[in-house]
Amino acid sequence: NIMVFNRGSKILQCAYGFKLGQLDIQPVKTYCYLGIVFALNGSFKHAINELRKKALRAFFSIRRILDTRALSTSTMLKLIDSLVKPVAMYSCQVWLHDTAILKELSKTDSTNIIKQAARDGFELVHLKMLKWTLGVHKKTNNNFCYGDTGRFPWALSALAQCVRYFTRVSLATADQGSVNTLIYHAFQEQKALNLSWYRTW
């Protein structure tokens, strides 16, 4: 398959005509590469939604295998952090900038971080699990759930991981042998274009 990225999220005429030998390469609107879904318009909403579904499946697998009613809240939260969070936050260094909470954090007058966090699919999964673990109604105030469990939105805990990755790539030099990697060249190109995700970081 082939993708020609564009803001209109349409399959452009120039996407047709690519061949591999005698085989035509078909243009597509989305493509999953290494577990991340890429869309024509560059948005990672599809990727975040797919990771949300996978995280929910992981959570329901825990409930199906274990008698979670016999587990304490702290034990259940540890299971969630060990078995579900890695699925939901997979490759967050790539897509975290495209979330509502990061866009809110990039504002100088940011005041609605918790409210914006609840707009992201992966954080809705987190809140759903917290409310189920606490045994409260699904419409319970999110702030109460964070407070009772002593937790923060997942995006905030992933920020440090993303910043470390950004710093490592941005400081890569020829001495480290990084200049021959695809990620290095892609980063330098997007830095030169001053794309929105780069400005966010």
DSSP string, 138-174: TTS-HHHHHHHHT---HHHHHHHHHHHHHHHHHT--G
Per-residue pLDDT reduced to its tens digit, 53-68: 999 999 999 888 888 7
Per-residue pLDDT reduced to its tens digit, 156-197: 888 888 888 888 877 776 555 655 677 777 777 777 776 665
| Positive or negative torsion for Cα 12, 15, 17, 22 | negative
Stated pTM of the model:
0.77
CB contact at 8 A, 142 and 119: no
Grouping H, G, I as helix, E, B as strand and the rest as coil, residue 20 is: strand
Binning pLDDT at 50, 70 and 90, where does residue 124 land? confident
- Res 81: pLDDT: 92
Beta pairing partners, 30:
39
What mean pLDDT do residues 89-95 have? 88
